[in-house]
């Protein structure tokens, strides 16, 4: 008996998902096709097959530079996001109900505010006459305004701030799933607070850390708006290159090839991250 | 083995007084049950001893003040209601957790863990994870883990309440035997009075942040000092009465409805005094209206409800003035709802409540 016969009409509920997934693979397959098509001038895609687009990408340190810079920038930003996110999540978990609701609400509001608007908000903070520079100048810590906007540091700050909720939420969830008396039990057995943190809390929140890091890394690796707005063209990442190639040079085959490479690199990174986290997550 | 002295310990959260100047001595090697309804402060008392709760007053163990010592340096074992095992560690690693924090050689840890696995019959489960264990097994692991570090005192926070009735009774026996074998001073917090009576050398009854009574199980059951203790430990039928006179070993008094009854003599009492006394359900004597009644009382009533409990029966009787009493009888004489009955007691079994 086939699965369809056994399940019958409830299978219909899968239809929306099937449509979405089908559409996704359909468009992806178009992109794969275009990535191996010859470029016959602006916005003209040839019919044949060629590997020129990939050769062009991998043969040029200029193009590869975009990829490696993106990988590196996303890597260290994810690490900083993880540390900040864990600190914030731990603070939320530890604080009283009122603080927890307040900080949680601020994060949720941040989370649901349009991405572009959030990025512009970061611009107001780190700009030459932004809050950060004005308060540092006012406090006499610096004499000249820091150049953050349109630098890699500025882009990094923006990416970290914008992706922080993706890190905080899964970690808070995993902190809250720790059985309530476990910390007290550890203390009664002689573990100091530092010891409890490293031997009990961190291992038990590893699933949350893993989820946060994978999502944030992908999110930051493929950032487009943050480097676009806060980098001002000086700190372009791989997504900005693809956009410029597709929408300004109209070299669709090359853009498709670059996008394919990014997709595969992302997939490989996620695979490796998950392998790593499977190793370091204690079994329960 | 250790003696624990709790002196004038008070705890308050905001303006809520959770413990109200509680003093208690736990003798060396004894099993002390702290009994009370939820919210009476019993778990807070346990946390005070463990060092997890801010308090005023003092906790001394073997004459040494522990008030400034943080929880992780107190060397006190705790078994929690939810067991609080480390979900990411195997049975063996859970038990070894405290030992690994001390400078103990690998071989000694191994030996100690094996010894505890034997003691609690956990050998076959040593490499399992908590999620693969049943409730009773988890509980054993929690006990083994707490005992591993040779604590001065063992604190048990309602450790049996998550188990089903049959397993709970088995574990009661096992727990008591284990405690005696190890000989560790133990504080057992529970809201289950049967459990407290069955296990403890000494029962501490708590109510609203105060200690109501301290005594052996039979003392608190047979001679409760207050109405609260009488009600909380076992069931009791409490009567209000006015004292009339003393007559030999008994006191004669009048109930609200005017019936004359006799109760056991105790302490200083004077005529005309308003008192409360109580009789346990198993000490109420039921007779047919025409047969001779017990010496203490002869109160007419009607059977309103009968609860069959297997080995005994609970008969609920309505007396004059709509007062309900409960009698427990071993062998049913076939009381039926609506039967007229005479309720009596032996004067010795009716005891005055001090408060």
Where residue A161 sits, what CATH number does that domain have?
A: 1.10.3720.10
Query: What is the arithmetic mean of pLDDT over A154-173?
Result: 94
Q: How many CB atoms lie within 10 A of CB B329?
A: 17
Query: What per-residue confidence (pLDDT) applies to A2?
Result: 56
Q: Give the number of domains in chain A.
A: 1
Query: What per-residue confidence (pLDDT) applies to A205?
Result: 95
Chain B contact set for A193 (CB, 8 A): 72
Q: What is the residue whose two structure tokens read 């489960």?
A: B125
Chain A contact set for B146 (CB, 8 A): 188-189
Residue A29 falls inside a structural domain: no
User: What whole-number distance in Å separates Cα of residue B145 and Cα of residue B116?
Assistant: 8
pTM for this prediction: 0.83
Given a cut of 70, whether residue A50 has pLDDT beyond it is yes
The residue range of the domain holding A259 is 55-280
Q: Tell me the CATH number for domain B237-353.
A: 2.40.50.140
DSSP secondary structure of B126-181: TT--GGGS-HHHHHHHHHHHHHHT--SEEEEESTTTTS-HHHHHHHHHHHHHHHHH
Put the strands of the sheet holding B16-26 in their side by side order: B16-26, B4-13, B56-61, B64-65
DSSP secondary structure of A38-71: PB-STT-B-SS--SHHHHHHHT-HHHHHHHHHHH
Given a cut of 80, whether residue B267 has pLDDT beyond it is no
Q: Tell whether the torsion through CA atoms of B238, B242, B247 and B248 is positive or negative.
A: positive
Q: What is the ipTM of this complex?
A: 0.84
Given a cut of 90, whether residue A242 has pLDDT beyond it is yes
Taking the domains of chain B in order of start, what are their residue ranges? 4-224, 237-353
User: What whole-number distance in Å separates Cα of residue B11 and Cα of residue B57?
Assistant: 9
Query: What per-residue confidence (pLDDT) applies to A7?
Result: 66
Cα-to-chain-centroid distance, residue B298: 33
Cα distance from B89 to chain A (closest Cα, Å)? 7
Confidence tier at B332 by pLDDT (50, 70, 90)? low
Name all contacts of B316-322 with Cβ < 8 Å and 24+ positions apart: B317/B286, B317/B341, B317/B343, B319/B257, B319/B343, B320/B257, B320/B259, B321/B256, B321/B257
Query: What is the arithmetic mean of pLDDT over A141-167?
Result: 92
Instruction: Identify the residue among B13, B53, B84 best suited for mutation to test binding to A, counting A beta carbons within 10 A and taking the highest.
Output: B84
Query: What is the arithmetic mean of pLDDT over A101-108?
Result: 90
Confidence tier at B354 by pLDDT (50, 70, 90)? confident
Beta bridge partners of B26: B4
User: What whole-number distance in Å separates Cα of residue A92 and Cα of residue A85?
Assistant: 10
Between A and B, how many residue pairs show a Cβ–Cβ distance under 8 A?
79
pLDDT in tens, A221-237: 999 999 999 998 899 99
Residue A145 falls inside a structural domain: yes
Report CB contact under 8 Å: A182, B76.
no
Inform me whether the C-beta atom of residue A278 falls under 8 Å from chain B C-beta atoms. Answer: no
User: What whole-number distance in Å separates Cα of residue A11 and Cα of residue A5?
Assistant: 10
Residues of B with CB under 8 A from a CB of A: 50, 52, 70-78, 80-82, 84-89, 97-98, 101-102, 129-131, 142, 145-146, 148-149, 151
Report CB contact under 8 Å: A204, B88.
yes
Q: Tell me the CATH number for domain B4-224.
A: 3.40.50.300
Residue A284 has its nearest CB partner, among B78, B129, B149, at: B129
Residue A10 falls inside a structural domain: no
Confidence tier at B132 by pLDDT (50, 70, 90)? very high
Per mean pLDDT, which range of A167-176, A227-236, B268-277 is the poorest? B268-277
Query: What per-residue confidence (pLDDT) applies to B269?
Result: 74
* A:117-146 residues touching chain B, CB 8 A cutoff: none
Query: What is the arithmetic mean of pLDDT over B102-115?
Result: 94
Per mean pLDDT, which range of A9-18, B44-53, B93-102, B103-112 is the poorest? A9-18
Query: What is the arithmetic mean of pLDDT over B312-336?
Result: 86
User: If you ran DSSP here, which 8-state letter would residue A143 be given?
Assistant: S
Given a cut of 60, whether residue A1 has pLDDT beyond it is no
């Amino acid at each position: 008996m086939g699965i369809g016969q056994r399940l019958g009409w409830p299978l219909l509920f899968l239809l929306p998902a099937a449509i979405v997934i089908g559409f996704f693979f359909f468009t992806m397959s178009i992109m794969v096709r275009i990535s191996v098509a010859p470029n016959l001038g602006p916005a003209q895609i040839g019919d044949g097959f060629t590997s020129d687009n990939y050769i062009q990408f991998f043969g040029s340190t200029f193009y590869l530079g975009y990829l490696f810079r993106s990988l590196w920038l996303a890597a260290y930003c994810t690490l900083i996001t993880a540390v900040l996110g864990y600190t914030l999540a731990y603070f939320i978990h530890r604080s009283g109900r009122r603080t927890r609701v307040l900080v949680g609400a601020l994060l949720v509001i941040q989370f649901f505010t349009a991405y572009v608007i959030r990025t512009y908000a970061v611009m107001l903070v780190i700009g030459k006459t932004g809050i950060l520079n004005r308060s540092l100048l006012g406090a006499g810590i610096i004499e000249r305004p820091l150049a953050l906007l349109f630098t890699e540091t500025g882009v990094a700050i923006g990416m970290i701030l914008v992706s922080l909720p993706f890190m905080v939420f899964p970690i808070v969830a995993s902190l809250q799933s720790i059985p309530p008396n476990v910390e007290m039990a550890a203390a009664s057995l002689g573990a100091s607070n530092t010891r409890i943190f490293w031997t009990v809390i961190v291992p038990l929140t590893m699933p949350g850390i893993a989820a946060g890091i994978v999502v944030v890394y992908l999110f930051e690796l493929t950032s487009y708006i943050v480097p676009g707005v806060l980098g001002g063209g000086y700190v372009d990442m791989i997504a900005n290159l693809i956009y410029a190639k597709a929408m300004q040079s109209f070299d669709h085959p090359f853009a498709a090839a670059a996008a394919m490479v990014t997709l595969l690199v992302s997939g490989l990174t996620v695979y490796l991250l998950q392998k790593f986290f499977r190793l370091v997550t204690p079994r329960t | 083995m250790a003696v624990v002295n709790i002196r004038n310990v008070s705890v308050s959260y905001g303006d809520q007084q959770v413990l109200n100047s509680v003093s208690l001595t736990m003798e060396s090697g004894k099993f002390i049950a702290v009994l009370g309804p939820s919210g009476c402060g019993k778990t807070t008392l346990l946390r005070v001893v463990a060092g997890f709760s801010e308090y005023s007053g003092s906790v001394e163990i073997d004459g040494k003040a522990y008030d400034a010592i943080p929880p992780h340096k107190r060397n006190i074992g705790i078994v929690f209601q939810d067991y609080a095992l480390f979900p990411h560690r195997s049975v063996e690693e859970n038990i070894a957790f405290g030992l690994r924090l001390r400078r103990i050689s690998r071989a000694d840890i191994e030996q100690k863990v094996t010894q505890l696995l034997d003691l609690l019959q956990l050998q076959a489960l040593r490499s399992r994870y908590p999620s693969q264990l049943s409730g009773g097994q988890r509980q054993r692991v929690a006990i083994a883990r707490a005992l591993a570090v040779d604590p001065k005192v063992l604190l048990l926070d309602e450790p049996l309440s998550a188990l089903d009735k049959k397993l709970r009774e088995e574990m009661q026996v096992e727990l008591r035997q284990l405690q005696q074998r190890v000989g560790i001073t133990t504080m057992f917090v529970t809201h289950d009075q049967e459990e407290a009576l069955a296990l403890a050398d000494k029962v501490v009854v708590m109510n609203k942040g105060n200690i109501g009574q301290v005594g052996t199980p039979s003392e608190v059951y047979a001679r409760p000092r207050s109405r609260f203790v009488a009600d909380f430990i076992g069931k009791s039928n409490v009567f209000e009465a006015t004292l009339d006179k003393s007559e030999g070993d008994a006191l004669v008094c009048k109930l609200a409805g005017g019936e004359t009854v006799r109760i056991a003599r105790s302490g200083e009492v004077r005529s005309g005094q308003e008192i409360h006394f109580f009789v346990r359900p198993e000490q109420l004597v039921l007779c047919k209206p025409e047969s001779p009644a017990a010496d203490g009382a002869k109160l007419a009533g009607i059977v309103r409800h009968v609860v069959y409990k297997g080995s005994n029966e609970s008969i609920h009787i309505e007396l004059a003035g709509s007062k309900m009493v409960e009698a427990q009888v071993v062998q049913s004489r076939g009381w039926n709802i609506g039967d007229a009955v005479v309720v009596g007691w032996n004067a010795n079994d009716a005891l005055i409540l001090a408060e």
